[in-house]
Amino acid sequence: MHEVTTVDDLPLAADAVWAVIGDFSGIRKWATLVEAETTVETPAGKVRTLTMPGGRAIDERLTDETAHSYTYTLERPDMNTYLSTVSVEPSGADASRIVLVVKFDPKDQAKVAELTEGFGKFHRGNLKAMKRALGLI
């Protein structure tokens, strides 16, 4: 399995950061490109459906959740496995670190470098949106 990890240190307590970015069913608090979201409980677990520009819908299923992290998966035709984790780690009374991780196994191993670059770019965009929602930029 391949992994892309992106981190950013923030001058805010972990609980304050998690209050904005940590709600699996409230991604629109920071992800402004998401036009609509719904979450339902299914036999397989909690699934959120994100409506993106152009009406494209993405279903993401929660696979794990802790006090300051959640992991989800989604079906991608180009992947055997895809897992994404959003977490916040305390690093002091008024400091924390956002950690974004994607673990993936592409069907075409020749695309690993391209996918790694794309996931890194995706993470950097998400971090920017998160920091904007937190009032840091």
Tens-digit pLDDT profile for residues 110-122: 999 999 999 999 9
At residue 9, the pLDDT reads 97
Helix (H, G, I), strand (E, B) or coil at 102: strand
* Contact by Cβ (8 Å): 7, 97: yes
State how many domains the chain has: 1
30 and 132 Cβ atoms separated by less than 8 Å: yes
Residue range 41-65: mean pLDDT, rounded: 95
Q: Give me the CATH number covering residue 120.
A: 3.30.530.20
Query: What's the predicted TM-score (pTM) here?
Result: 0.94
Domain span at residue 13 reads 2-133
Work out the average pLDDT over 93-112.
97
